[in-house]
């Protein structure tokens, strides 16, 4: 909560898209035995499908160590994005990490750790100080959660007090852009007038209202991760959670767990059990096709070729319900399809609401996208003339409906802006004195802290990295690299990095301008009643996201509005 003010998010309460605590698989790799032989531990902290975060620990088991060098080979197509607590030299697919001035000397019995975020296949062929790492297979073992949901209101690297979080993402099969994270807080929303409220309990009623004016049958799905057990599953009409079973190496159909939704002009109340994080899907006219694998649930991905749901009109909201209350948001990170508002009523009777689209806003979004030549093909229309969805730029590019290099020139311009001056990143709204200073050298932007120590480095991202806030902009769940990555991604997505050398910066009026603006992000926000939306993964930077939270939720609501 997906992504909030804690720090990774992607949200980080634990919410998740899924989210459960990440348990890394560790491979111990030792150099040939000797009294002073150091050891290397390589651990995948998290793997979220489209990217991963690795951690390398060097331990000095005896003798003096004044410097170190760790080398790996990358498989074809893999790439390193951000890295920290080490310097990196890249020669083709060969990586050489060396100590920074302050962490080269490692006393006997002590250790030093560095890390990096990447995409594609994992590094292999480890060497430490020129000697092959022994101990068998030197490849890195990934830790995959396989949960398939993102935590609402949290995002990679969203530390407490962060000015930004992460929008819920997608799970296995959906090319998720975000790893799991922590606990979010929400930006203030205007309370509506007080109303009567149900008593507190372990089941939260969620009232789904249909005001669309459409006559199709509506089907609802309440899916997510049980935060107590870590199991991925579904909730039935009675509020009972059941873990998925029966997946295989080849995706197999999941059982039909749909809940009949409301007819036009009526409402249906579904029951959400506590300690659940996931999505509430709604489809029109046809049930969704979910599949199960040994890694978890394959969710609908209509931008992917051959997805069985591509001709179905559907959408979803993302949520987390735990001891911190309810975090719920609408999401346009992947697509804009069914306009719907989300709300939560607390024990004080006050209701917070967001995500409401302006009257005729859906059509205005469609018209604006069609009028933008670079984005026009991202409007997906069914054979019967029904506009099913507008794909977000990254998904449109994945589907071959938009140029994969649309932002490249802008990214280069922004990166080169800081070859001769500093970029100041102050990522925490409640800690304005915590600042990091970026300066570009070649294609790498290095960040120092206020003491002058280099704390993070980022290779120049691609257009896909910006749309996905991934790859070179992958955000680990820490208090330094993740917050900087989120800030960079938000500035590039909103087209402000080249214009403001302090980030986050500007207001909504300053966003989405320039020669290659993010038209999708602009028109989505322009057509929201309160201006809030989750148009990209880190739209919660500067509190632009469509998320509401109550620490004492008594009633949640999703209103499907007219279109």
Active-site positions?
A: 318, 334
Burial class (CB in 10 A: 0-12, 13-18, 19+), 422: middle
| Site of tokens 């800030």 | 487
Give 266's contacts (C-beta < 8 A, 6+ positions apart): 209, 210
3-state SS class at 419: coil
Burial class (CB in 10 A: 0-12, 13-18, 19+), 527: buried
DSSP 31: P
Q: Kindly give the pairing relationship between strand 553-560 and strand 203-210.
A: parallel
Give the span between the Cα atoms of 259 and 288, in whole angstroms: 11
**Helices 361-370, 519-526: inter-axial angle, 10-degree rounding:** 160
Query: CB-side exposure of 90: number of CA atoms within 13 Å?
Result: 14
Task: Please name which of 473, 443, 488, 456 lies closest in space to residue 86, comparing C-alpha atoms.
Answer: 456
CB 12 within 8 A of CB 3: yes
Q: Which tokens sit at 132?
A: 């092959």
CB 141 within 8 A of CB 171: no
CB 386 within 8 A of CB 313: yes
Give the span between the Cα atoms of 465 and 399, in whole angstroms: 16
Give the span between the Cα atoms of 391 and 335, in whole angstroms: 4
Give the span between the Cα atoms of 312 and 471, in whole angstroms: 30
Task: Please name which of 162, 146, 155 lies closest in space to residue 13, comparing C-alpha atoms.
Answer: 155
3-state SS class at 350: coil
Give the span between the Cα atoms of 468 and 182, in whole angstroms: 19
CB 475 within 8 A of CB 486: yes
| Site of tokens 């893999």 | 78
Neighbours of 306 (CB within 10 A): 6
CA distances from 109 to 58, 61, 105 (A): 10, 5, 12
3-state SS class at 76: coil
3-state SS class at 416: helix
CB 151 within 8 A of CB 3: yes
DSSP 140: P
3-state SS class at 520: helix
Task: Please name which of 1, 394, 344, 383 lies closest in space to residue 205, comparing C-alpha atoms.
Answer: 344
Report which secondary-structure segment, H or E, holds 236: none
**Per the omega criterion (within 30 degrees of 0), is the bond before 301 cis?**
no
């Amino acid at each position: 909560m997906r992504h909030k003010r804690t720090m990774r998010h992607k949200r980080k309460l634990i919410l998740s898209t899924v989210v459960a605590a990440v348990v890394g698989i560790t491979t111990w790799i030792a150099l040939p035995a000797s009294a002073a032989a150091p050891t290397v531990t390589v651990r995948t902290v998290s793997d979220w499908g489209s990217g991963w975060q690795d951690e390398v620990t060097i331990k000095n088991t005896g003798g003096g160590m004044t410097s170190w060098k760790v080398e790996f080979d990358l498989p074809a197509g893999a790439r390193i994005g951000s890295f920290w607590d080490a310097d990196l030299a890249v020669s083709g697919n060969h990586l050489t990490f060396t100590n920074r001035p302050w962490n080269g000397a490692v006393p006997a019995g002590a250790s030093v750790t560095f890390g990096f975020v990447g995409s594609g296949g994992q590094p292999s062929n480890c060497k430490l100080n020129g000697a092959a790492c022994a101990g068998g297979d030197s490849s890195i073992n990934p830790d995959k959660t396989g949960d398939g949901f993102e935590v609402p209101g949290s995002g990679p690297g969203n530390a407490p007090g962060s000015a930004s979080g992460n929008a819920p993402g997608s799970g296995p099969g959906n090319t998720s852009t975000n790893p799991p994270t922590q606990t979010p807080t929400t930006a203030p929303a205007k309370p509506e007038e007080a109303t009567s409220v149900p008593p507190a309990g372990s089941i939260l009623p969620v009232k789904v209202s249909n005001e669309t004016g459409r006559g199709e049958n509506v089907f609802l799905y309440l899916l997510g991760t049980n935060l107590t057990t870590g199991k991925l599953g579904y909730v039935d009409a009675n509020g009972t959670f059941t873990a998925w079973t029966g997946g295989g190496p080849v995706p197999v159909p999941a059982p039909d767990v749909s809940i009949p939704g409301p007819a036009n002009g009526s409402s249906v109340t579904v029951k959400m059990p506590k300690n659940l994080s996931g999505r509430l899907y709604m489809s029109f006219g046809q049930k969704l096709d979910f599949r199960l694998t040994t890694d978890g649930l394959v969710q609908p991905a209509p931008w992917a070729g051959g997805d069985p749901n591509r001709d179905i009109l559907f959408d979803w909201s993302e949520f987390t319900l735990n001891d911190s209350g309810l975090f719920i948001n609408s999401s346009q990170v992947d697509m804009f399809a069914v306009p719907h508002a989300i709300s939560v009523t607390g024990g004080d009777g006050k209701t917070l609401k967001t995500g409401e689209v302006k009257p005729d806003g859906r059509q205005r979004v469609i018209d604006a996208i069609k009028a933008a030549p670079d984005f026009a093909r991202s409007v997906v229309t069914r054979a019967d003339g029904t506009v099913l969805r507008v794909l977000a730029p990254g998904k449109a590019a994945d589907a071959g409906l938009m140029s994969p290099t649309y932002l490249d020139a802008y990214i280069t311009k922004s990166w080169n802006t800081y070859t001769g001056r500093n970029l100041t990143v102050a990522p925490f709204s409640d800690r304005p004195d915590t600042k990091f200073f970026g300066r570009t050298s070649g294609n790498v932007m290095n960040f120092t802290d206020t003491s002058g120590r280099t704390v993070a480095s980022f290779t120049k991202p691609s257009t896909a990295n910006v749309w996905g806030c991934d790859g070179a902009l992958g955000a680990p769940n820490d208090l330094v690299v993740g917050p900087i990555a989120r800030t960079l991604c938000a500035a590039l997505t909103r087209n402000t990095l080249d214009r403001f050398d302090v980030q986050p910066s500007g207001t909504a009026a300053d966003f989405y301008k320039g020669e290659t603006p993010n038209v999708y992000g602009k028109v989505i926000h322009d057509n929201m009643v309160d201006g809030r939306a989750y148009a990209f993964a880190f739209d919660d930077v500067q509190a632009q996201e469509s998320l509401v939270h109550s620490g004492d939720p008594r009633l949640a609501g999703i209103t499907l509005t007219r279109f």
